[in-house]
Structure 1
Amino acid sequence: MDSVLCSQDEITEFFDSFGEDARGCNAVLLLPLDKTLTLLGVQFREVWSASREIRRGLPTFKTAQKMLSEDPASLSLSSVKKRLHMTPLPRGALQFAKYQLGNGYSVSTVVHWLGFLEHAAFSTPVVLEYWQEKLYQISDLSGVGIRSVSRHHDRYLMYTSAEVVEHLGCPASRHLMADLLSEFKNDDEIDRDKRVGQLMAADAFSVLLRLAAWLIAEAQIANWDWEVSENSHNSVHAAWAIPKWCGSAQSWSNPMEHALEKLAKASGWSGKKQKPVTYLGKVWAEAEDMPESSKIRLLRNWVQLKPSRPSFKSMQNLVRVCFDLAVKARHELPADVVVAYWQGACWFRFAETMAILVRDFQKDGWSTDLIASMMSVYESEYRTARALMGKPIND
């Protein structure tokens, strides 16, 4: 028996023990996994196809897409049974689903997240325990708490004052939401007000930033000896990828500029004569035997976030060129260098995603203070993660 994933017999036996009285509910605080992948520029089709190569029994991409994208509140329990029966389910997620159904509701988005964190993301027990507790709290708030009151106004009050929302959401959203709710006279006004949606979105993106902080902190600790040897063990990794507001310039920093500058320095850029984009464009063009002008223009477009997002493969190719130059200058390429290429490209994508978010938030009319508050959670959560994993940052 697989020690991590449940067998189909186990899943069938579990669901057959329940009736049809559980109701499907939408999750608060959490974006669905497929939307999170889209946010990161990852094609769900590619991820699912790769997974099917490993586990031949998975349903088709079309079926999986419907499973994740359909409104959970519109699903019957029989539909949930059918779809989960077709999907490999970690035992922790199965117990989570059992907990939900035993309490008369189903919040599939939260189950998906627990399954992902348990099976594909975190490996440290203290991290899994920390996030499992938070997901159970989100589950109860979504399926029981806010549904125990009928007025939208009261639901929002319950939501914004919930312990898990205060802990994981955007700090600025708490007092802003309370002030907003005091202005409304009826539920229709709340539903029409764009600011409420912005505050809810700020909470959801704050949760993703906190998850990213834990993932990156865990990866840093996993390479602890190397981090100590490089004297980087007391740094907040990827802090450069978080946009920062400059009051004097009245503008946000661009993480893509920082990403390219870091790659340029790693590959030998001295910081003189040429800008990082020009230097990297020439290095990349030489490695791939292409005209310099095309690569320089491509990198300028990346910085300006136009006309479309770079492919992960393109990012990985640039990282490979820069990493090879950096490592060869010190010693031979390590055996696991391909993993380093992939990790470097992931950091690059993270920086690009953060730059896009700030651009889009500004276009949507978000206040600078709300964006800044949301961005601030990354470093604070990173420090929390390091401390709970037994490796606090010593400033």
Structure 2
Amino acid sequence: MNARAIIAKLRQGRSPGREELAWFARGLADGAVSDAQAGAFAMAACLNGLGEEGRVALSLGMRDSGDVLDWDLPGPAMDKHSTGGVGDCVSLVLAPALAACGVFVPMVSGRGLGHTGGTLDKLEAIPGLSTRVEEARFREITGDVGCAIVSATGNIAPADRRLYAIRDVTATVESVDLITASILSKKLAAGLDGLVLDVKCGSGAFMKTAEEARALAAALCDTANDAGTPTAALLTNMSQPLAPALGNAVEVAVCMEVLAGNRAAAPRLHDLTIALCARVLALTGEDEAAATARVETAIASGHAMELFSAMTHSLGGPPDMDSDWRTHLPKAPVVGEVTAPRAGHVAVIDGEALGLAVVALGGGRQVETDRVDPAVGLTEVAPLGAKVAAGDPLAVIHAADEAQAHAAARSVRAAITLGEAPAPADLILERMDP
């Protein structure tokens, strides 16, 4: 067993065997595989694929590179995972909403990847909050609050943590096999009783077409169900940002509005969160229509907001996020509108380009060592179909300086095409059941 031989086999279009991939996963975790070798492996996998057996083997090998948790809770341990998109901050609303419905949500999440934001980066925009906690503290918060969103500890899927960071900066994100292994290594290691996947397609997603998204959803569901974790999926539309904000603090702010009962602040975010929560509850045996009503009540009553505040305080954040979040979230020094150059309807949105504009502002990483600026981003992004006159705002930029703001304005204008209003599209495109 050695990394060079495994990479060479994959480069030649031959899938490494189960034992070889398990060895490679251990090498990622213990340092036997170098960064250069990990990058070469990711590129070869991205270009040639691993095959179905290789995908399962890498997922399980990365899961077994660290600890596999089990839970002793007075309710099911469930989770949701998104394959990534722009303005996708569902987890911040979903976790406390499910906890308010009696489901425990031990969520091991990730950071920004490519043009998409990361749940952990968004949470850590809250002053004082750290998602790096030891396993004992993770268990304590989950049991006491009902939900905890944390980074993988040193003992949970360490192979994925290493490969994830390398994929982010080597243009090797868009691979069904690597996405499957990355997602499921963490989720299977978390010891879940069930999992719902939000598999996105469109300009703001990694999978641009419904066919690509369907293939990824099938790979994820088949692998997870074969591993013994009941898993369902929704294919969802990412032809525009899910929330009208892209960035870290600005997305937290939108989530707080939704948790406060203001659906109008982000109707697509609200509606998809409700649908995903109901699907999670259905996996526990609850009627999905009744579950939908129960989740809506959990948010409207303020219970989900209380649990979000309790969770963030347990992770080091301020004690009053539920009542004073506007004061706590960081704000960028330069804020300005991007205006429409002419009249028309918002016909097409290049979501990936908008995401990359936020990365260029400092809201994501271009190299592994970059520090994320939590305050920068875009807000009030005009939705598809919006009618604008010349000079009307297309978005609001939050930047660290004027030069970055001007560069972002050029990117935003290039990413939004004005023309005829597009036909309305469904938010949820397809369901996949276990």
> Structure 2 length as normaliser, TM-score?
0.25
Structure with the higher strand share, 1 or 2: 2
Task: Tell me which protein shows more helix as a share of its residues.
Answer: 1
- Which protein is bigger by CA-based radius of gyration? 1
